[in-house]
Structure 1
């Protein structure tokens, strides 16, 4: 691949011919930006049927995404790394929060081509600076380049922004969230590992302390291969070498589990879609008819050869001892397939392929694993591995039932990185309010209100403000929670327990 500089040296228009670059010397910083005036002029042009002037290079790229510069693939791979999903208040050369909000609103109102005409082409702002309005920090490898070198990244940033659900502007405060909780009758709660970390159960993706960070010693190309069904069938020892570290060993559940159970008790819970495999929702008292365990759980286990099912904890002793549990009743049986497989995604949304290591087996014959009985298959906990179908209930309930009834969506303790569960929120009606609760925000979805902090602390404060008694042993007496609004935002709030003082804990996604 050519360097970013040389790749942009001979940019091409949509017809493939070389195009002259527009000088960027005249567009430095935001100057006298008047959104109302620009919008009024635009509407007048449209009403008078004025012809659009020839598209410049950026507008051609936005209008016709079929042609791309060589750096397009580089930008596509790196845009999520460059996206910091925040206003760069510490950078005097970046857009201010107020400017960023105006630019985002203008983009949605007038569309990308006219947006480019009214901003970069009009000399209102540079492409480099405009990136910061969409939470993209200009990459260091483009420092010193002409402004049009940023066009490729900007076009992707605009497409990324437009692909998101539009935030509902009427919901911004914590009181708004509390009122939604009180008024709603059909709440979908989508949960991830962050609701269990306070119990000492590790999450998967937190850098340095998550389970995937601890699997580097296995020498895998991708630590997620531990949970890949094809890898399991080739060599189950890989999974069972770490299975004992993720076995649910507690009958306790967190305050967040208790909060979801309380929603059911108040006849407000439509469905809890859980990505967790610890089965703690059931221990918290959430009814099976209100619970969809999207990725299965350790509650049961099945033979990969004959399908024989057992209660999961009957295998825990063998798993803790580092053994591979074997089926005690093997027989031939048929298996069904489903295309809705749990799958790993690349940053551009494409499905990630499993890469094999030297020495991987090509079959799953029992002889490869030193089996005690020739006809016995390997028992596998009924958690959904990458490459396996999610439960039919997941799709049927979501599409035929919940989509038409839901009146509030709450996402708790998940970064929404695994499909198809990550596709639940975009699938639901965009006019339904959506609330996000976790330690850190996500950048690929626009939630209406972000409540950031320890999940247990956030739900405790919500219940206090709602006048609900969330009785739980892990909620300390005299708890005092400090809530602050994130700088540059009206709908992003940080929660911190200040009394009693607690030591830092494992991070949630």
Structure 2
């Protein structure tokens, strides 16, 4: 058990302890604003063993030279699609078996108790849903669904994995290192012969329902989130540096309505100057302890 916790914590950056008075400050804020909308980022899932991109010393950028896949590269390049799907195939069993941590579970409980309005996440790992949260808005899509880039075909990622497995049985022993979107790093010689099935409906390219870097969040998703902000008492951001504009945009929309913003994140965020409350702390040291004070 202790070894398992150490493995899960390897992607959590160095952080300071949090004090009860700070947790109580955030709890009082949530009590006074019972219709708060929650936005979560990669920092909430590092404690489940999924790394983020930017954390100092432990994020993907700090540990490798690889950058996340760009949308335009996936569209234009057959070798890029081959490389992506080969790595995603190898990483999928580990990525899909990841379990929610205490923060995911606590937020799901807060939602069921009516303490928060809802959850929007920048993550594609489905850990909020696994924890029991309902109607989670996945800002950047989900790694659990595969879509066609040309028609309306879609397939569950588990089912697609079986098809990839039947086409590429030699890949079962490929070494890997998991990445935030379920992609992994594997040797080039495992990639060059990887086979990808075309869309069975129109024959075009398939991709995960993830908003890759350089792509746009669907307008309808932005509209739904804007409505949620309009109906909220404010915004709580958990585990995000907000360097990606789609998340930071939610903070700007909230402040335009003169609503408060609270942040819980290890290190600085893009929205620190706009925050009404900021806790520089690990999510798991704060969120699960809320509403436990007597």
Deviations 1:341-363, CA, capped at 9 Å, x for gaps:
xxxxxxxxxxxxxxxxxxxxxxx
Aligned partner (choices 148, 157, 162) of residue 303 of structure 1: 148
Three-state SS of the structure 2 residue aligned to 1:429 is helix
Match of 1:417 in 2: 243
Runs (4 or more) in structure 1 with deviation over 4 Å come to 319-322
Does the 8 Å CA contact 1:236/1:324 hold for their aligned counterparts?
no
Work out the CA distance in 2 between the residues paired with 1:390 and 1:250: 26
Q: How does 1:188-199 map to 2 (within 5 A)?
A: 188-199=37-48
Match of 2:71 in 1: 229
Does the 8 Å CA contact 1:187/1:408 hold for their aligned counterparts?
yes
Using structure 2 for the length normalisation, give the TM-score.
0.73
Match of 2:111 in 1: 264
Match of 1:165 in 2: none
Match of 1:179 in 2: 28
Match of 2:13 in 1: none
Give the direction of change, closer, same or farther, for the CA distance of 1:429–1:208 in structure 2 (3 Å limit). Answer: closer
Three-state SS of the structure 2 residue aligned to 1:381 is strand
1:283: how far off? 0.8
- Residues 1:330 and 2:212 are matched in the alignment: no
Match of 2:168 in 1: none
Match of 2:15 in 1: none
Work out the CA distance in 2 between the residues paired with 1:450 and 1:262: 22
Aligned partner (choices 213, 216, 222) of residue 386 of structure 1: 213
The runs of 5 or more residues in structure 1 that have no matched partner are 1-171, 332-375, 468-509
Using structure 1 for the length normalisation, give the TM-score.
0.44
Three-state SS of the structure 2 residue aligned to 1:386 is coil
Match of 2:134 in 1: 287
Deviations 1:271-329, CA, capped at 9 Å, x for gaps:
311000101111111112xx210000112101224342001112235376564532351
Work out the CA distance in 2 between the residues paired with 1:461 and 1:185: 17
Match of 2:49 in 1: 200
Q: CA RMSD in A?
A: 2.5
Give the direction of change, closer, same or farther, for the CA distance of 1:449–1:315 in structure 2 (3 Å limit). Answer: same
Higher normalized contact order (CA 8 Å, seq sep 6+, divided by chain length) = 2
Match of 1:75 in 2: none
Does the 8 Å CA contact 2:248/2:271 hold for their aligned counterparts?
no
Does the 8 Å CA contact 1:305/1:330 hold for their aligned counterparts?
no
Give the direction of change, closer, same or farther, for the CA distance of 1:448–1:281 in structure 2 (3 Å limit). Answer: same
Does the 8 Å CA contact 2:48/2:98 hold for their aligned counterparts?
no
Match of 1:455 in 2: 283
Deviations 1:349-379, CA, capped at 9 Å, x for gaps:
xxxxxxxxxxxxxxxxxxxxxxxxxxx3332
Give the direction of change, closer, same or farther, for the CA distance of 1:440–1:278 in structure 2 (3 Å limit). Answer: same
Give the direction of change, closer, same or farther, for the CA distance of 1:314–1:325 in structure 2 (3 Å limit). Answer: farther
Give the direction of change, closer, same or farther, for the CA distance of 1:213–1:175 in structure 2 (3 Å limit). Answer: closer
The runs of 5 or more residues in structure 2 that have no matched partner are 1-20, 166-170, 173-190
Radius of gyration: which is bigger? Answer: 1
Three-state SS of the structure 1 residue aligned to 2:212 is coil
Question: Number of matched residues?
Answer: 241
1:197: how far off? 0.9
